[in-house]
Amino acid sequence: MPFSRIIGTGGYLPERVLTNTDIENLVDTTDSWIIARSGIRERRIVAEDEFTCDLAEKASRKAIQAAGKRPSDIDLIIVATSTPDVVFPSTACLLQERLGIIGPPAFDVQAVCAGFLFAIDVADKFIRTQSAKCALVVGAETFSRILDWSDRRTCVLFGDGAGAVILESSDEPGILSTHLHSDGRFKDLLCVPTGVSRNYQKLQDGGAYVTMEGGEVFRWAVTAMSDIVQETLDANSMTLDQIDWLVPHQANSRIISAIGKRLGLPVNKVVMTVEKHGNTSAASVPLALDEAVRDHRVKPGNFVLIEGFGGGFTWGSAMIKM
């Protein structure tokens, strides 16, 4: 059975920068509070006429170029997003049309901030079972559109962006293992309680916004993302010192530091990019991976453990040999 390998990464952040000082003009908060509680200094916000698929397209083109491929080489497209352009068609189908790829399957997966891990898991299985040879896997979000900009508990934490990888079939590993979990009992702790089938009138009247029990989410995120690192190591008969890099979901520097401390992982093995773009949900892990690949922290042959955690709750990880 072949492996899937990451052969190219790409990322894109919208041009408009919204600093903590800018947010001080919107809600009762301070730059120092936001930095102390989240590590976030600024985030990117889409232009009025910019949508999730626009970000996905830019990140995808960079990943395709980095992989030395053409769009016509791609035979599977998966987009992880909770902020699709429209209810349907999927953002993956919109992206497919933009890239001029005709025929192969294109679909979205929705697992909020863990979405990219779910998408990677599915793409890996397509490749391992020889249903695809070259997959484009994207995490893309415009969370600024589902934030209540008068709610200081949430609006300071999130931003917009997209990240992408190209996975190719290979005799060499590759993705060594993937691990996914969900627990719907916690559905109310981090959610957008408005939708198309439920509370549609509210959506028409006032919009759909993220609500969150911050303290509870913090505790669960640290526990789940620490435990899944151990699960991933055990599945590969590896120890922590054999990982070159941990690329965790970029929600909050305090969550990331707490995971590192709990595991006993030195900070110089953890990729942290959250201060520059906040929590970009499904885009966070591929954006962080792309940055670390492009600045040569992550090198060919490195063992990289990626992991995410999001609303649902959902959480997942993958052990990758780059």
CB of 156 to ligand COA, least distance (A): 4
SS3 state of residue 134: strand
Q: What are phi and psi of 113, to 5 degrees?
A: -70, -15
Tell me whether residue 259 is exposed, middle or buried, using C-beta atoms within 10 angstroms of its C-beta: 0 to 12, 13 to 18, 19 or more.
buried
Binding of ligand COA at residue 79 (CB under 6 A)?
Answer: no
Give me 55's structure tokens.
């970000």
SS3 state of residue 318: strand
Query: Is residue 272 within 8 Å of residue 255, measured between CB atoms?
Result: no
Number of residues that bind ligand COA (CB under 6 A): 22
Binding of ligand COA at residue 229 (CB under 6 A)?
Answer: no
Binding of ligand COA at residue 309 (CB under 6 A)?
Answer: yes
Catalytic residue among 53, 113, 134, 155: 113
Binding of ligand COA at residue 181 (CB under 6 A)?
Answer: no
DSSP letter (8 states) at residue 204:
H
Contact window for ligand COA (CB under 6 A) among 88-96, 165-173, 215-223, 268-276:
215-223
Other CB atoms within a 10 A radius of the CB of residue 25 amount to 7
Contact window for ligand COA (CB under 6 A) among 57-65, 87-95, 116-124, 153-161:
153-161
Q: What are the distances in angstroms from CA 77 to CA 109, 153, 194, 273, 290?
A: 11, 35, 28, 26, 18
Out of 16, 29, 145, 170, point to the residue binding ligand COA (CB under 6 A): 29
Out of 17, 22, 24, 33, point to the residue binding ligand COA (CB under 6 A): 33
User: Mutual orientation of helices 115-128 and 284-294 as an angle, nearest 10°?
Assistant: 70
Question: What residues numbered 252-271 form the site for ligand COA, per CB under 6 A?
Answer: 252, 255
**Annotated catalytic residue 249:** yes
Binding of ligand COA at residue 217 (CB under 6 A)?
Answer: yes
Q: What are the distances in angstroms from CA 121 to CA 99, 111, 166, 205?
A: 23, 12, 13, 38
Binding of ligand COA at residue 37 (CB under 6 A)?
Answer: yes
Contact window for ligand COA (CB under 6 A) among 14-22, 150-158, 192-200, 291-299:
150-158
Taking the C-alpha atoms of residue 315 and residue 293, their distance in angstroms, rounded to an integer, is: 23
Catalytic residue among 20, 134, 155, 249: 249
Binding of ligand COA at residue 110 (CB under 6 A)?
Answer: no
CB of 16 to ligand COA, least distance (A): 20
Interface with ligand COA (CB under 6 A): 29, 33-34, 37-38, 113, 152-153, 156-157, 212, 214-215, 217-218, 221, 251-252, 255, 279, 309-310
Q: Which residues are catalytic?
A: 113, 249, 279
